[in-house]
Chains A and B, each alone.
Chain A
Amino acid sequence: MVGPERSSLPAPAPLLSIRNLCKRFGDRMVLKDVSFEIGAGEAVVLIGPSGSGKTTVLRCLNQLETPTSGTITLAGDVIGGSLAPDGTRWKPFGEADIAGQRRRFGFVFQRFNLFPHLSALQNVALGPRLTLGLPKATAEARAAAHLERVRLADHRDKRPGQLSGGQQQRVAIARALAMEPELILFDEPTSALDPELVHEVLDVMRALARDGMTMIVVTHEMSFARQVAHRVVFMADGAIVEQGAPDALFTAPQHETTRRFLAHVRNR
């Protein structure tokens, strides 16, 4: 087995705090009172059977879904709205404020979602140019630096359709990085990839974690969780079942559900 690459745990003040997050789709409760915190520089891996709500947690954080109830705070700022001065009425933010908060999170999608009409460089430069207001040359210089970081400097002028899945996902990571987010959310970033391309994406993510990027990763790559995560959170049926350091959780899970899930994924 490869030895752990984790640095020591970061300072205690949480960067992100999720309190009693609930999400209902129709009459189905997808998230039930999910609470957890993440410190700056921490890499947290979210595991669990499909349908357990992992992806919905990420989507709520980035306001791609509106939580039914619960509070999310990023560096002290409440996400999605504010309480009216009398403290009783919740006032959702307008579009501009939501957009402003969204860009503090990077989001990497399972299916990459690159813009097919733009080159790799333009994909990465679009956000800095349009939302941070950087001049084109500055935005492109920044984009080039981030493409370099995911080792795709040679492919900057190619369209997504001309790139392999692994390369596309690395462009997507560069696109998220170029916004200089406070943390990055990865939603099953390797699930849509051919097996032989998975490692190149995981390598990039591993390097990011080593550089101290805060991240929440939803994945089925257990070896990645073991090597990179500071903490593993196991979810089932819309709730957190248990969480802990990867060694502890993988070798001595406390709950029967966790044990059964781990037995399944180990047999893959």
Chain B
Amino acid sequence: MSIDWAVVAMAIPLLAQGALTSLRIAALAGLLGLAGGVALGLIALGGFTPARLAVRAYVDFIRGTPLLIQIFIVFFGLPMLGWRPGEYLSGVIALSLNSAGYIAEIVRGAVGSIERGQTEAAQSIGLTRGKILLHVLLPQAIRPMTPALTNDLITLVKNTSLLSVISVYELTRSGQAIIASHFAPLEIFALLALYYYLIISVLAYISRLIERKLPAW
């Protein structure tokens, strides 16, 4: 058995296209997931019990079911509700919903671990729950949250590969297309692995930089 270098050379630029799509999806889903996750996390810490329980149930569902199934549910479920966003947007939505669930837990955990005296001091100057969360607790939670959020982002990038099952033309899917026409599975899967590895190495490096830049109090 020998390596088909011609296929490798041909695949590198094609896969780069797919990698860009994967990155775009991850960036979009990451931002939406972060916004949604912070919002859900704050609700989970808030005083309104029904909303808190709803978030709890949502997080349990997200963590308790495979992402692959969640992707199918969104992909086939949204059209049932009368909206056909297409596979690309469906994929972004599914990944956003998934990562929002995990980020909600990260936010809840980090904010909840801040010393009780901070809340009491804020209460003593008359702040109410929402303002305490927003102005006192959340800012202090950012640094302890960063490593967990980085992990989540890395997982998100890898999870974009699952969108290949709903025909989103991201990195994995574009590799599969090359395999189908040229039949060089090992070369292509190795290349795919290399692409993901490089992307994630860069992300991990950036997040270490950010972590070092964040103030430690």
Q: How far is the CB of A182 from chain B (nearest CB, A)?
A: 13
B123 and A102 contacting across the interface, CB-CB below 8 Å: yes
* B131 adjacent to A130 (CB under 8 Å): yes
CB <8 Å contact, A115 and B136? yes
In the complex the two chains form, is A117's CB within 8 Å of B123's CB?
no
B86-130, CB < 8 A from A? 115, 117-118, 120-129
Which of B47, B117, B128 gathers most chain A CB within 10 Å? B128
Q: A113-B118, A126-B135 are in contact. Are A62 and B124 (CB under 8 A)?
A: yes
User: Which of B115, B124, B125 is the one whose CB lies under 8 Å from A64?
Assistant: B124
Quick check: is A229 within 8 A (CB to CB) of the other chain?
no
Known contacts: A109-B120, A126-B135, A130-B135. The answer to whether A116 contacts B140 by CB under 8 A is yes
Alpha-carbon distance A160/B140, docked complex (angstroms):
13
A96 vs B121: C-alpha distance in the bound complex, in angstroms? 16
Chain B facing A: main interface SS: helix
Interface: A51 (CB within 8 A): no
Closest to B115 in A: A113
Contacting residues, chain B, for A102 (C-beta < 8 A) = 123-126
Residue of B nearest to A108 (CB): B124
Q: Is the beta-carbon distance between A95 and B129 smaller than 8 angstroms?
A: yes
With the chains together, A175 CA to B118 CA distance in Å?
Answer: 13
0/1 string, B46-64, CB within 8 A of A gives 1: 0100000000000000000
User: Which of B121, B131, B139 contacts A113, CB < 8 Å?
Assistant: B121
Assembled-state Cα–Cα distance A175/B124 (Å): 10
Q: Is the CB of B120 within 8 A of A113?
A: yes
B residues in contact with A179, CB < 8 Å: 125-126
Are the C-beta atoms of B217 and A117 separated by less than 8 Å?
A: yes
Closest Cβ of chain B to A261, distance in Å, is: 28
Within 8 A of B (CB), among A171-203: 172, 175-176, 179
A interface bracket (residues with beta carbon within 8 Å of B): 20 to 34
**A175 and chain B: residue at smallest CB distance:** B125
B134–chain A nearest beta-carbon distance, Å: 9
Within 8 Å by CB of A99, from B117, B123, B135, B140, lies: B123
Q: Mark B9-32, 1 if CB is under 8 A from A, else 0.
A: 000000000000000000000000
Instruction: Contact check, B117 vs A106: say whether CB atoms are below 8 A apart.
Output: no
Cβ B126 vs Cβ A127 within 8 A: yes
Contacts of A105 in B (CB 8 A): 124
What residues on B are CB-neighbors of A149 within 8 Å?
A: none
Contact A130 B118 (CB under 8 A): no
Distance, CA A183 to CA B127, complexed state (A): 18
Q: A95: nearest residue on chain B (CB-CB)? A: B128
Given contacts A115-B140, A131-B131, 16 further A-B contacts (CB under 8 A): A62-B124, A64-B124, A95-B47, A95-B129, A96-B128, A99-B127, A102-B125, A103-B125, A106-B124, A109-B117, A113-B115, A113-B118, A127-B126, A159-B217, A160-B217, A176-B125
A selection of 19 A-B contacts at a CB cut-off of 8 Å is A62-B123, A96-B128, A99-B126, A99-B127, A99-B128, A106-B124, A107-B120, A109-B124, A113-B120, A115-B118, A115-B140, A117-B139, A127-B127, A131-B127, A132-B126, A161-B217, A172-B121, A175-B125, A179-B125
